């Protein structure tokens, strides 16, 4: 525990936020060493800390130095949706996947309307965009379009 900040050196529980060029503010919610939420507010909340390993990982992704897979996420969502988001994490940087590909990866049937609804719901409600890279899936999901484009650009260079 850091005496000055009261935070663990690996990033404690709470809210953390930082501004990134071409993306704006990225806010991370953390608990028990896991990222539990990612959002893109207009400005840094006054109660958000500036330093967390997940924010360092965002910076590394945006500069093309690394991908997001080293960040632990805690997905507190229904199991079928969690299976979809875990499958999305397996799409390699710089690649794109269709909903049908995600369905197969998650053990779902791309010809079943209910399964496609599960996939769409999981992607729209993704609590940890960037670390569950919905920007690699065709369509617009939880990651704002401008942020998704910036992430894809960083992964391609």
Residue from 118, 53, 129 nearest 83 by CA: 118
CB contact at 8 A, 108 and 119: yes
pLDDT score, position 48: 96
Task: Evaluate if pTM is beyond 0.75.
Answer: yes
Per-residue pLDDT of the chain (157 residues; tens, 9 = 90+): 343 343 444 457 899 999 999 899 999 999 998 999 999 999 999 999 999 999 999 999 888 887 666 789 999 999 999 999 999 999 999 999 999 999 999 999 999 999 999 999 999 999 999 999 999 999 999 999 999 999 999 988 7
Burial of 37 (0-12, 13-18, 19+ CB in 10 A): middle
Centre a 10 Å sphere on the Cβ of residue 43 and count the other Cβ atoms it contains: 11
pLDDT at 53: 92
> Given this model, what pLDDT does residue 8 score?
41
Phi, psi of 87 (to 5 degrees): -65, -40
- Token pair, residue 46, equals 């006054």
């Amino acid at each position: 525990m850091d005496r000055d900040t009261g935070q663990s050196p690996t990033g404690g529980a709470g809210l953390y936020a930082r501004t990134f060029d071409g993306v704006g503010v990225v806010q991370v919610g953390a608990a028990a060493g896991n990222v539990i939420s990612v959002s893109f507010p207009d400005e840094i909340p006054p109660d958000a800390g500036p330093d967390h390993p997940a924010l360092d990982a965002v910076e590394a992704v945006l500069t093309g130095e690394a991908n997001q897979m080293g960040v632990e996420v805690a997905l507190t969502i229904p199991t079928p949706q969690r299976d979809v988001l875990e499958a999305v994490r397996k799409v390699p940087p710089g690649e794109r996947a269709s909903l049908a590909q995600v369905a197969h990866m998650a053990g779902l049937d791309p010809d079943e309307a209910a399964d496609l609804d599960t996939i769409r719901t999981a992607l729209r409600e993704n609590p940890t965009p960037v670390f569950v890279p919905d920007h690699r899936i065709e369509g617009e999901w939880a990651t704002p379009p401008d942020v998704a484009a910036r992430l894809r650009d960083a992964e391609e260079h």
